[in-house]
Amino acid sequence: MRLLLLAAPGGGKGTQGERLASHFGVQHISSGDVLRAAARADTPAGREVASYQKSGDLVPDQIVLALLIPVVVGAAERGGYILDGFPRTVPQAIQAFDVARQLDVTLDATVYLYVPEPVLMERLLARARADDSAEVIWHRLQVFTETTSPLIDYYRDRGILVEVDGNQAPESITAEVISRLSGR
Ligand code: AMP
């Protein structure tokens, strides 16, 4: 199983990523976690990643691709992955698709979890991560709308998009994703 979870910040990618990875027995890859680990290194590159994350801006595509592609390829060799947060821009998706096509490990499906904005706000404010202040949250939601949401059409055009109501109990969302994927 090779799956991408697409959702706005607070949309449940992390929770569903863990649940689906354990269901399918594959690796859960959170790009936010991979980048937060890179940001902990006290190096110029680490400090650069940290400053983007702190402000809620996206880390530049070339840095993200260099860090994430090896992790994704490794997981694909071991049977698959649930991707949470990568690709997050159309150029990232195009470059990742290029690599995956050469290795014959392209995505089986992209699941878009849609959640109303007030619910996203409420969840993010309750979470209290370092980049979850009200101001940074607004900015991240805006970045999602402008830069990440075009991926919804990109994957719909590729014929692999599955849209699921993300405003349900976590168990219901997981069950719906699994049943929708088995019906494909
Ligand atoms: P997340 O944990 O998915 O909410 O991501 C937290 C932060 O990590 C984002 O606000 C971005 O700064 C950065 N980030 C995570 N994934 C990506 C990505 N694919 N491209 C660029 N930046 C990313």
pLDDT value of residue 180: 97
pLDDT value of residue 11: 98
pLDDT value of residue 184: 82
Which of 59, 145, 151 most suits a substitution to test ligand 1, by most atoms within 8 Å of the C-beta?
A: 59
Four-CA torsion 56, 37, 10, 137, nearest 10 degrees: -20
What string of pLDDT tens digits covers the 184 residues of the chain? 999 999 999 999 999 999 999 999 999 999 999 999 999 999 999 999 999 999 999 999 999 999 999 999 999 999 999 999 999 999 999 999 999 999 999 999 999 999 999 999 999 999 888 899 999 999 999 999 999 999 999 999 999 999 999 999 999 999 999 999 998 8
The helix or strand, by DSSP H or E, that contains position 66, with its residue range, turns out to be: helix 61-77
Q: Is the pTM of this model over 0.85?
A: yes
Asked whether 88 lines ligand 1 (CB < 6 A), one says yes
Ligand 1: centre distance to CA 52 (Å): 9
Q: Are 27 and 182 in contact (CB under 8 A)?
A: no
Nearest protein Cα to ligand 1, atom 2: 32
Which residues make beta-bridge pairs with 5?
A: 84, 111
